[in-house]
Amino acid sequence: MLLEFSCSNHKSIRDKVLFSTLAGKDNTFDEKTIEFAGNRILRSSVIYGANGSGKSNFIDAISFVKNLVINSINHQVGQGIRQIPHKMEPADSISQYEIQFVTNGIRYMYGFSLQNMLVLEEYLYYVPNGRQARIFDRKGEDFEVGSKFKGKLTVIKDILKPNKLLLSCAANFSSVDEIEQAYRFFAEELVVYYPSNQENWMNYSLYQMHANPHIRSSVIHFMQGLGMGIKDIKVKIDQKKIDASQLPPFLSEDFKNVLLQQNLDAITAKVDYGNFSTDLMHEESVGVRKLFGLLCPLIDIMSHNKVLVCDELESGLHEAILYELIKLFMNLTGKSSSQLIFTTHETGLLNLDIFRRDQIWFTELKTEDRTTDLYSMAELKNVRKNEKYGKGYIAGRYGAIPMLNVDFAKVLS
């Protein structure tokens, strides 16, 4: 589970913003929250805001932390950490990132700060048996470890560089279980989706539906529940040789020969409606293709207690389908701790009585310095439980909407 994330000086986010999935005092939909260590954790959160207000930059900050943890071990000498600070901050300003999460039933607190494209500070703590304990604290290239981990990270001293995270190095060159668990959260349990990832997710889904009858059955069942009339999805994967005529002419003959010896997967997918079938990739709508591409990863995320962070989840989907996808997460029961955190412009969701006030977040751009502010509806005063949130949002009661002062007569003149 993702419990909390904060950052500062990242793109349009200048001052520190804090996002939390810890449920407030509101008891609405309490049965749809997750119990952990005496607290109630929200299973889903939605982020609204005007175009350019920083919604995608907030998702980008989470993605940046995930990717840096996974990939900084590969940074070469002299290679700086590519990160974009706020444009009104000086070149040597500090960017900070902090995250609290749960993996394997244990709460972790991790964070780092960057300056001049290098790591300034970094820390990792955890809470075994209800008591907070240090795994490591780092300043520059020097670090200290907790008493339990004395001597276990000695090998890292020769590997750690100013452009590499200690968590990334330790996970790859030590055998400390607590560090491996923390690293695995970023590598496997925290999933970030962008609309540009759609092709990769579709390929994953097609392979899963081909190899796993249970997953294919689950996808078909969901589609039928939407009234789409689908009877079956038939995925065929063949091996074929590369045609020499398809290779670019600038390749060397040796490299062409290597490629020509390899096989490619030729994938076809037919959607069976009973009386007829369609080619999924060429005859179905963008919305249907996206839905097929999303469902298998979603099933995997929900089955293995992962966190899905998604930018513009509604892109290409009808509001009713988006609602059903959200309900999948909201209605999970038992020991499932899967979470869905997403940005959207679909205000109709706010009127469907599915979100608590602490599940609804807003981004707003401060005009004086082009800085993103992030806040929850639960922080706003005089917002009633039975209020039509969508209507209030459009009316500007909660902020986070564009100020429409366009003089169209001048635009068209």
The secondary structure of residue 367, as a DSSP letter, is T
pLDDT of residue 17: 97
pLDDT of residue 277: 94
pLDDT of residue 411: 53
pLDDT of residue 245: 67
pTM of the entire structure? 0.88
pLDDT of residue 72: 96
The secondary structure of residue 325, as a DSSP letter, is H
Contact partners, residue 206, CB within 8 Å, separation at least 6: 235, 237, 267, 269
pLDDT of residue 73: 95
CA–CA separation, 361 and 350 (whole Å): 11
Amino acid letter, residue 290: K
pLDDT of residue 359: 94
Contact partners, residue 104, CB within 8 Å, separation at least 6: 181
CA–CA separation, 192 and 308 (whole Å): 6
Contact 68, 168 (CB under 8 A): yes
**Which pair of structure tokens corresponds to residue 269?**
């997918």
pLDDT of residue 252: 65
Per-residue pLDDT of the chain (413 residues; tens, 9 = 90+): 999 999 999 999 999 999 999 999 888 888 889 999 999 999 999 999 988 899 999 999 999 999 999 999 999 988 999 999 999 999 899 999 999 999 999 999 999 999 999 999 999 999 998 899 999 999 999 999 999 999 999 999 999 999 999 999 999 999 999 999 999 999 999 999 887 777 778 888 888 898 889 889 989 998 888 888 899 999 998 876 656 665 666 556 776 676 566 666 678 899 999 999 999 988 988 888 888 888 888 888 888 899 999 998 887 788 888 888 888 888 887 678 999 999 998 888 887 688 999 999 999 998 778 899 999 999 998 887 777 788 888 878 888 775 545 454 555 55
Helix (H, G, I), strand (E, B) or coil at 35: strand
- Structural fold of domain 1-194+311-404: Rossmann fold (3.40.50)
CA–CA separation, 327 and 324 (whole Å): 5
Radius of gyration of the chain (CA): 24
pLDDT of residue 248: 61
Q: Is 157 exposed, middle or buried (0-12, 13-18, 19+ CB in 10 A)?
A: exposed
Contact partners, residue 236, CB within 8 Å, separation at least 6: 210, 267, 268, 269, 270
Taking Cα atoms as reference points, which of 211, 200, 263, 262 lies closest to residue 235? 211
Contact 45, 34 (CB under 8 A): no
As annotated, the residues of the chain forming the CATH 3.40.50.300 domain(s) are 1-194+311-404
